[in-house]
Amino acid sequence: MNAAVTASPAADTPQAHRYNQIRRWLSVADFVLGLVFLVVLLVTGWTRFLRDYALQLAPDHYSVALFFYVLMLLVSSKLLGLGLDYYGFRLEHHYQLSNQKLRSWLWDQFKGWLLSVSLGALLVELLYFTIRQSPQHWWFIAWLVFMALFVFFAQIAPIVFLPIFYKFEPLENENLKERLVRLSERAGTRVRGVYEWKLSEKSKKANAALTGLGATRRIILADTLLQKYSDDEIEAVLAHELGHHVHKHILKSIAVQAGITLFGFWAANAVLHYAMERGHLFETLSDFANLPLLVLVSTVLSFLLMPLLNSYSRFNERQADRYCFQSITSVAPFISSMNKLAEQNLAERTPAKWVEWFFHSHPAITKRVAAAEDWARLKA
Ligand SMILES: [Zn+2]
């Protein structure tokens, strides 16, 4: 029996509890703020005012005016949310979880915002182009286009989006690489790239993930993890990530997303028609003043589906964990890595039931540890 197995603390520290509580409130506040913003735009008619202003800036150029309109929305929503974002930055520092200087944080905020403007403008332009070309079937065509883009973005994310914020290098540790090769051979799967994720420049937390699709599929391991965890523990983390790969979790999540998005577009079309024909809020479908209504539909839908999607994600995480238990010789390093991660990231090991149900994409750490112990007991 490894010493670390017996060292699982029973309860959360008040500090961990408080930190996670504040983070939850922060995400709720952010959500509510976004919702209020959209409702206010629609109810006060400011969305029509902004549309008229955009059309004045670019008369006779629908798509340029649309771009100005989107830009005005994204500037206002960023300014509105900046206070909460800054509070989140301070919170990480308060709990000694961040290394990031204010300057670097502001730069990240700016880059993130530019990225959302570029992607947001691209999607909105495509959306209204489709609406104008095919007012009858726009929602279905837009769904096809969005899903194709979604797959494309998932593919380029590790080589285009993630490097905007973090540096990545191929994993140097030969011993670990060899272990991964053996792990994946046992899985009967082709070895994919493993990259060191330079997280320590910004955070004291540790993390690992499976990202990308096809040729860009890779496991990324934070340097904060590589520095402080034993090779056995890192192997356990790798085995878990490999479990996501073996069970094709990224592909399955995209399929789930496709179903939800199709429903979302259908619902958006119904709501737009209702707002137009019954509410007389807009004259035409292609009146882009109705954009806040479209965003509102998708926001409300994602909120309602959050518990369902999180429970699906927790199912996948349990599956990846089980894959990990099978592939490593002893579950002890898995358990000790879980405990280390919880401590390093100030995670709640035993969140309230409803908190886990609603907010958590991963099972509670105590449950993951208990599952590993059960596995070891059954195997013994
Ligand atoms: Zn996972």
Q: What is the pLDDT of residues 331-371, one digit of tens each?
A: 999 999 999 999 999 999 999 999 999 999 999 999 999 99
When pLDDT is averaged across residues 34-47 and rounded to a whole number, the result is: 96
Inter-residue contact 139 to 264 (CB < 8 Å): no
CB within 8 Å of 371: residues ≥ 6 apart? 318, 321, 322, 325, 363
How far is the centre of ligand 1, averaged over its atoms, from the C-alpha of 233 (Å)?
15
pLDDT band at 86 (very low <50, low <70, confident <90, very high): very high
> pLDDT for 307-320, tens place per residue?
999 999 999 999 99
Triad 22, 24, 29: Cα angle to 5° = 95
Question: For residue 188, what are the CA distances in angstroms to 24, 210, 364?
Answer: 40, 17, 30
Determine the average pLDDT of the residues in 184-205: 85
For ligand 1, the distance from its centroid to the CA atom of residue 209, given in whole angstroms, is 7
| Residue 195, Ramachandran bin (φ over 0: left; ψ between -120 and 50: alpha; else beta) | beta
Count CB neighbours of 310 within 10 A: 17
Q: Nearest-CA neighbor of 74 among 30, 121, 111?
A: 121
- Ligand 1 centroid – CA 249 distance (Å): 9
Tell me how far the alpha carbon of residue 377 lies from the centroid of ligand 1, in angstroms. Answer: 23
Q: How far is the CA of 139 from the centre of ligand 1 (A)?
A: 33
Cα of 252 from ligand 1 centre, angstroms: 14
Rounded-to-integer distance, Cα 356 and Cα 7, Å: 23
pLDDT value at position 345? 94
Dihedral, CA of residue 349, residue 355, residue 360 and residue 362, to nearest 10: 40
Task: Phi first, then psi: give them for residue 195, nearest 5 degrees.
Answer: -120, 145
The proportion of the chain whose per-residue pLDDT surpasses 90, expressed as a percent, equals 83
- d(CA 361, ligand 1 centre) in Å: 9
Please, what is the average pLDDT of the chain? 93
Q: What band does 180 get if pLDDT is binned at 50, 70 and 90?
A: confident
Give the distance (Å) from ligand 1 centre to CA of residue 337. 13
Residue 24's Cβ-count burial label (10 Å; 0-12, 13-18, 19+) is: middle
pLDDT of residue 249: 93
**Model pTM?**
0.89
Alpha carbon of 320 to ligand 1 centroid (Å): 6
pLDDT at 2: 43
Look at residue 1 in the predicted model and tell me its pLDDT: 39
20: closest CA among 375, 376, 370, 359?
A: 359
Q: How far is the CA of 273 from the centre of ligand 1 (A)?
A: 41
**Helix, strand, coil share of the chain (percent; to 5):** 75, 5, 20
Residue 4 has pLDDT above 60, yes or no: no
Measured CA to CA in angstroms, residue 256 lies from 211, 240, 249 at distances of 17, 21, 10
How confident is the model at residue 174, as a pLDDT?
87
Interval 218-229 mean pLDDT: 92
CA of 235 from ligand 1 middle (Å) equals: 14
For residue 191, what pLDDT is reported?
59
Q: Residue 303 C-alpha to ligand 1 middle, in angstroms?
A: 22
Q: Residue 36: pLDDT above 90? A: yes
Angle at 42 between CA 39 and CA 46, to 5 degrees: 115
Region of residue 234 (phi > 0: left; psi between -120 and 50: alpha; otherwise: beta): alpha
154: number of Cβ within 10 Å: 21
From the CA of 363, how far away is ligand 1's center (Å)? 10
Ligand 1 centre to CA of 242 (Å) is 9
Residue count of the chain: 380
Give pLDDT tens digits for 26-35. Answer: 999 999 999 9
Per DSSP, what are the bridge partners of residue 181? none
The pairing of beta strand 218-222 with beta strand 168-170: unpaired
**d(CA 274, ligand 1 centre) in Å:** 41
Q: What is residue 9's predicted lDDT score, i.e. its pLDDT?
A: 67
Instruction: Calculate how far, in angstroms, residue 123's C-alpha sits from the geometric centre of ligand 1.
Output: 29
Mean pLDDT over residues 197-204, rounded?
Answer: 95
Question: What gap in Å lies between CA 105 and CA 118, rounded to an integer?
Answer: 20
Q: What is the pLDDT of residue 6?
A: 46
Other beta carbons within 10 angstroms of residue 169's beta carbon come to: 10
> From the CA of 127, how far away is ligand 1's center (Å)?
33
CA distance 368 to 322: 10
Residue 85 Cα to ligand 1 middle (Å):
26
CA distance 129 to 308: 32
> Can you give the pLDDT at residue 210?
87
* Mean pLDDT, residues 39-56: 96
Ligand 1 centroid to Cα of residue 311, in Å, is 13
Quote the tokens at residue 194.
Answer: 């493993």
DSSP character for 216? Answer: G
Write out the H or E segment, with its range, that includes residue 218. Answer: strand 218-222
pLDDT tier at 10 (50, 70, 90 boundaries)? low
